[in-house]
Structure 1
Amino acid sequence: MSWKTAFRSFYYETADEPEDIVLPPEETALLVIDIQNTYMEVPEDQAEANRWAPFHERMNEIVIPNTRALQDWARGTGIEVIHARIACLKEDGRDRSLSQKKPGFNYLLLPKDREDSQIVSAVAPQKDEIVVTKTTDSALTGTNLRMTLHNMGVKNVIVAGIFTDQCISSSVRSLADESFNVIVVEDCCAAATDDLHRHELEVINMIYCHVVSKDDVLGFLKA
């Protein structure tokens, strides 16, 4: 199925197909969100390890290899590669947003220098690539990314990373509200389950972004 008709929600079932996407390299950035060591750790509890096994399989076999390939393509074409990660500045996490202090899965205490807060080595920054540190879901909220993108003349943002239904969705919505053209690369993203992943892509597609595949993106480049 073409990206122009895939991942349609009720709101856009009957909408016209979008126009072709053209990405001038000098006006485009690739933003990779939260692919960090902590999320690749297999739980010690066997039941939890089994529960998360499909997510880890997707990350290791699809998302991380595809994201690295997308980064290499971007670097070779002059598209800026930018990274976002969750990390607090204080060891006790006092600087975290409220959402990261609440009990449950989203409770995150990731001091910036600790190993589990670092970006997975396969998709880690190279040379002077920009890394923004956040204690929020959105990569724009609480960071200087918005200003940085504007200062660099970026109008189009390609988004990859995790989790589709959390930090990806929140960042995409923020970017769209700031009038950036946003492209989400579905096979460079993951949620805890495939159902959550697909559902969120349908929710954000066509209004906040266009959902495409990695191979689609490679065809959008403007010489």
Structure 2
Amino acid sequence: MKSIYLVLDMQNDLVHPDGASGKGPLGEQVRSREIIARTAAAIARARAKGIPVAYVRVAFSDDHREANPHSQVFGPIAKNGILKKNAWGGAVHDELAAQVQDWDIVKHRVSPFYATHLEVLLRREGIERIYCSGVSTQAVVQATVRDAHDRDFDVVVLEDCCASPSAQEHENSMASIARFCTPVSASDAFV
């Protein structure tokens, strides 16, 4: 079964200790769960198995014109000026750096399928299985799993490469999507 690994929203503003969210509860969970190191190892394993890697980034123009100012999620992002597409905060964490052949999927909403070219690329490449992980579990991971499932992809979540602002939120999120995907540890993925 042809597969891809989607690395979801692992951007400096969200996961780096100096990032806007990296300084708060989400960043604490990313560090305590060793998400960066685990994700870097998972990327290396995927590449070693010949599985392509795609980076999904939630990012906006400098003026945040794509962000809904009335959204509970995107309004504060625009107000605080974070996750700019071409700025440090919107870039993928350096330890997870993309290679030239990797995909860069920029999205302006929670789901990586909404108004992006992700599905077109997946279909063109004959992808049937999506491995995914990232932050946060209750947002992009859940949205990816549900949308991919409904598009008839087999979905595998690397549970120990995901985090939410609290351990409880992460656990609740994984429990709610378990029927739509196969949760595994990163060491058991890409077999």
Residue 124 of structure 2 corresponds to residue 189 of structure 1? no
Instruction: Report deviation, 1:103.
Output: 3.9
Instruction: Report deviation, 1:54.
Output: 3.2
Q: Match for 1:118 among 76, 84, 91?
A: 91
Instruction: Report deviation, 1:111.
Output: 2.1
Residue 28 of structure 2 corresponds to residue 54 of structure 1? yes
CA distance in 2, matches of 1:43, 1:75: 27
CA distance in 2, matches of 1:87, 1:110: 5
User: TM (normalized to structure 2)?
Assistant: 0.88
CA distance in 2, matches of 1:186, 1:163: 11
Instruction: Report deviation, 1:93.
Output: 0.7
Does the Cα contact within 8 Å between 1:97 and 1:135 map onto a contact in 2?
A: no
Residue 85 of structure 2 corresponds to residue 85 of structure 1? no
State, as a whole percentage, how many aligned pairs show the same letter.
26
Instruction: Report deviation, 1:106.
Output: 10
Aligned residues: 187
Q: Match for 2:67 among 82, 86, 96?
A: 96
Corresponding position of 1:36? 11
Corresponding position of 1:73? 45
Matched AA of 1:84: V
Evaluate the alpha carbon distance shift between residue 93 and residue 80 of structure 1 in structure 2; reply closer, same or farther with a 3 A threshold: same
Does the Cα contact within 8 Å between 2:27 and 2:165 map onto a contact in 1?
A: no
SS of alignment partner, residue 70 of structure 1: helix
User: TM (normalized to structure 1)?
Assistant: 0.76
Evaluate the alpha carbon distance shift between residue 199 and residue 67 of structure 1 in structure 2; reply closer, same or farther with a 3 A threshold: same
Corresponding position of 1:11? none
Residue 124 of structure 2 corresponds to residue 151 of structure 1? yes
Instruction: Report deviation, 1:147.
Output: 0.9
